[in-house]
Amino acid sequence: MALPRQTKRSDAITRGVERTPNRAMLRAVGFNDHDFETKLRGVRNELERQVNAGRNDSWALADLALVNFLLGSSADHALTDIEQRNVHASFYEATHTVIKNLLSEGLGSGGDLGKHLEEFQRLLKRKGGLT
């Protein structure tokens, strides 16, 4: 299935796993918690719209699970919500890759967010049979 074409100018610098560092840098350039949450809610709404319209590739679902987690869902709940959509096994690997990249770029380094992301990674490994 082909990915939907870019719909916003910002997609060129923020969309896709290869742009994970760009997304991680939003904090570094001044996004506060309120800004971050507001933007994430918009991202979640757009991802939900795309998934409901038929886009169910692993990357879209991985982003949706991660956004739900970042907005306060437990890792287990974020995964269970996505698993109910009958996802392909590659979803776990895609989500794991996104989180790995975020952590390697320093998102949550030394704080609670980093610990929660690492917990999410462990859950993905266990549920997805990843090594």
Q: Could you tell me the residue ranges of all domains in the chain?
A: 30-128
Q: Which amino acid is at 123?
A: L
Q: Mark the ranges of the chain whose per-residue pLDDT is less than 70.
A: 1-24, 26-27, 31-33, 86
Q: Note the pLDDT of residue 45.
A: 93
Q: What is the pTM for the complete model shown?
A: 0.67
Q: Return all residues near 22 (Cβ < 8 A) that are at least 6 apart.
A: 13, 14
Task: State residue 4's pLDDT score.
Answer: 47
Distance from the first to the final alpha carbon of the chain:
27
Cβ-based burial of 17 (10 A; exposed 0-12, middle 13-18, buried ≥19): middle
CB atoms within 10 A of CB 69: 23
pLDDT value of residue 115: 87
In this predicted structure, what is the pLDDT of residue 2? 44
pLDDT at 35: 76
Q: What is the pLDDT of residue 23?
A: 63
